[in-house]
Amino acid sequence: MLYVIDAFGEDDEMTTMLTRPVDEVDAEYLRAKVIPVLQPLSVDEYSFGPAAILHTMARYSYVLDGAVVYWCVEWKPGLLVIRFAPEGEMAWAALKSPNPEFGGREATDAEWDAYDEDAENPQYNLVFDAWDDIFDCEREGWDPVSESDQDAYAAALAPVNTLSEALKLQWESRSEEYLERCKTSPIWRGEVVMG
C-alpha cells in the first residue's frame, strides 16, 4: 500500500506526484478493520454525499493498493473510507473515532476512562501521514511516483473523475442547492458506523 500525494513546492505550485509506503500498522488497520466492512456505494449515494466533501476543509489522503485507491477522510463519525476501482465500482466504510469527543460527540465518563490519548491511532495516521507532507517542502521518505503506479492510480480514479466533471456541469450554477442536498446524506451526516 502506498500513499499518493500531489506535492507542492515553495510557490504553492504542484510539482510532482509522490508515493510513500503506508506504515505497516496503518496498512494492517486498513486491511483488517476497514476493508472487511466496506459496503457498495452507488453513483447516486456518492454524488449526493461524499462528492461534496472535496469542497470542504476536510483532511484526506489517497492510498493506492494494487489497482484500487482508498480515499481516507477525517469525517464523522471518525474515518470515512471510499474505495475506487478502474471499472467504476465504489464502496465505503465509516468507522467511529477512538476519540470519544470527535465530531462534537459528548463522551461519558466511562468512554473517557477507556480512552488512551497516547495510543496509536491508525485512523489519524491514514489521513495525516500523507496530508501533512503535501505542502512540506522538506518531506522525507517520498519518491516520485513510478509510471506503473501513476497509471494504476489514474485508472482507479478515472470513473469518479468523469462523474465529478458531470456533477460540476450539472450543479455549478446551483452549488448551494447541491450542497444542501448532500448534507441530507447519511454518509455526509456521519450517521452510519461500521465495524
- Determine the average pLDDT of the residues in 118-130: 87
Q: Which residue has the higher pLDDT, 194 or 93?
A: 93
Q: What's the CA gap between 84 and 68, in Å, rounded?
A: 6
pLDDT > 70: percent of the chain:
90
Cis, peptide link before residue 77, omega less than 30° from 0: yes
Q: Decide if pLDDT at 73 tops 70.
A: yes
Q: Which of 49-58, 115-124, 138-147 has the lowest mean pLDDT?
A: 115-124
Q: Decide if pLDDT at 111 tops 90.
A: no
Q: What is the pTM of this model?
A: 0.90
Other beta carbons within 10 angstroms of residue 103's beta carbon come to: 13
